[in-house]
Amino acid sequence: MKTRAAVMWNETGNYEIDELELDAPREDEVLVRFDYAGLCHTDEHLRNGDLGFTPPMVGGHEGAGVIEEVGPGVRHLKPGDHFVTSWMPQCGRCRFCVTGQTNLCDNGQYLMSGTMLDGTQRLHGRGRGVGAVDLLGTFAQWNVIPASCVVPLPAEMPLDKAAIVACGVPTGWGSAVNAANTRPGDRIVIYGIGGIGINAVQGASHAGAELVVAVDPVKFKRDTALKLGATHAFATAAEAHDFVWSETRGVGADAAIITVGLVDKQVVTDGFAMIRKGGRLVITAVSSPDLLVEIPSFELTLYQKQIVGSLFGSGNPHYDIPKLIDLYLRGSLKLDELITTRYSLEDVNKGYDDMLAGKNIRGLLEISH
């Protein structure tokens, strides 16, 4: 069959809309129709070269839609099921899966490989095989994806809201709840209020933090953070530092969470300086592969500070995503307010330009068929 998709044909540049050939699903795969796709910052990193990948590649790893066909061996899904994607194709057998850390599954090695788990490709165009970001390629009308990347949805869950729970929501929420281990009464500082940072705000607030301090230079994002759980918001790290030091009588924050668009040395320095003795710095945002950061070793040891990375919210996506869906349906999690602007598939580049200009918390593609 044929499918229209947004493709990165080169290592940098804009997405191009092309019609591709799509093969049928094979063992443990499903053919899906994508109705909505979230514009996560990770797929912008492909446009500007911050993340290495092997082109050509269909973009997108946040998506929701309907299953249209199941391949051999797929028994827990059926045509007509509504679903949201989980971008880690968990194997269920590696050390990390069997210890409940499915976000770290060894299948992560395939995320930017340009092939499916069996080393072959389902998409073809311009005489070449075409890969898909995280084996999903949600910037497409239809695609074939691993069945292990499918999270079924209850019928009452709107597909547009579900799409953003594929990555940004659990990643941000889990950065606060799991990685930062937020407890009632904690003081949490979050650097960068985009699609991930705003959900770190919601997670920290839900976990009972006394102070939830948002740091972002864009006033619109600070205002949104204050509406969705932040107690205070500042334009600069210096302002936030002075405030937290005053409020805690010089103790510092229990945790600082970095969810900026791209990590640099300064934000790591700011976050490390913000946390108290025994405090935790969580780095969720990605950086260019060659970035090296420096921290004061003396302070690391004598103040017993911690630095941890966090991938996919440091949790179990097939458990966490349904839990977050349930929180939304019960009114405890805000999703409608996160979708700032909707775009057609053809306007995917405009959506990312708007994101870089600070106009969106989360852009959403509405995919026509």
The per-residue pLDDT for range 129-163, each reduced to its tens digit, is: 999 999 999 999 999 999 999 999 999 999 999 99
What is the identity of the amino acid at 361? I
Neighbours of 85 (CB within 10 A): 32
Nearest to 6 by CA among 348, 355, 369: 348
172-311: in CATH 3.30.360.10? no
Please write the tens of the pLDDT for every residue from 227-277.
999 999 999 999 999 999 999 999 999 999 999 999 999 999 999 999 999
- φ/ψ of 143, rounded to 5, equals -160, 165
Angle between helices 219-227 and 197-206 (to 10 degrees): 20
Domain with CATH 3.40.50.720 in the chain: 172-311
**Pairing relationship of beta strands 306-309 and 275-283 according to DSSP bridges:** parallel
CA distance 179 to 171: 10
The alpha-helical segments, DSSP class H, found in the chain are: 41-48, 95-98, 159-163, 168-174, 197-206, 219-227, 237-247, 265-274, 297-302, 317-329, 348-356
Provide the residue type at 114 as one letter: G
Per-residue confidence (pLDDT) for residue 133, from 0 to 100: 97
Of 38, 62, 35, 40, nearest in space to 142 by CA: 35
pLDDT at 53: 86
> Whose CA is closest to 240, among 263, 222, 224?
222
Reported as a pLDDT band with limits 50, 70 and 90, residue 113 is: very high
Across 120-150, b (16+ Cβ under 10 Å) vs e yields: ebbbebeeeebbbbbbbbbbbbbbbbbbbbb
Using 50, 70 and 90 to split pLDDT, how confident is the model at 278? very high
What mean pLDDT is predicted for residues 194-206? 97
Radius of gyration of the chain (CA): 20
Report DSSP letters for 226-279, one per residue.
HHTT-SEEESSHHHHHHHHHHHTTT--EEEEEE--SS--HHHHHHHHHHEEEEE
Q: Is the N-terminal amide bond of 56 cis, ω within 30° of 0?
A: yes
- pLDDT at residue 288 tops 90: no
Q: Where in the chain is the domain with CATH 3.90.180.10?
A: 2-166+335-366
> Structure tokens of 266?
């300064």
Question: What gap in Å lies between CA 104 and CA 345, rounded to an integer?
Answer: 30
pTM of the model: 0.95
pLDDT for 98 equals: 96
Mean of pLDDT over the chain: 96
Q: Report the CATH fold assignment for 2-166+335-366.
A: Quinone Oxidoreductase; Chain A, domain 1 (3.90.180)
pLDDT, residue 95, reads: 97
Cα–Cα distance between 368 and 140 in angstroms, integer?
10
Q: Tell me what pLDDT residue 48 has.
A: 87
In angstroms, the CA 214 to CA 192 distance is 7
Nearest to 158 by CA among 317, 36, 76: 36
With bands split at pLDDT 50, 70 and 90, how would you rate the model's confidence at 7? very high
User: Which pLDDT does position 32 carry in this prediction?
Assistant: 98
**Taking Cα atoms as reference points, which of 361, 338, 343 lies closest to residue 162?**
338
Contact 112, 52 (CB under 8 A): yes
